[in-house]
Structure 1
Amino acid sequence: MWFFIENFHRGAFMELTAVLQAYPKEQTYLLEILLKYQASKPTHHLEEDELTAIADHLGLPASHVFSVVSFYSFFSMTPRGRYILQFCRDVPCHISDTFSVRETLETLLGIKTGETTEDGVFTLEYSSCLGACDLAPVLRVNDTLYHHLTVDKIKAILAEIRSGSDA
Structure 2
Amino acid sequence: MVLAACALAIGVSSPAAVAAPAAGSAHIGAASKRPYDGQDPHYSGCSAWGARMVKHKTDYYYSSKYREHVWVKAELWYSSGCRTVWTEVHSNVPQNYAAGLGCNIHRKSDGKVLTCNHTTGTRERNSPMLNDKNTTGYAVAWGHIGDDPHILIATTGSY
- TM-score, normalising length: structure 2: 0.25
Highest relative contact order (Cα 8 Å, sep 6+), 1 or 2?
2
Which structure's residues are more often strand, by fraction? 2
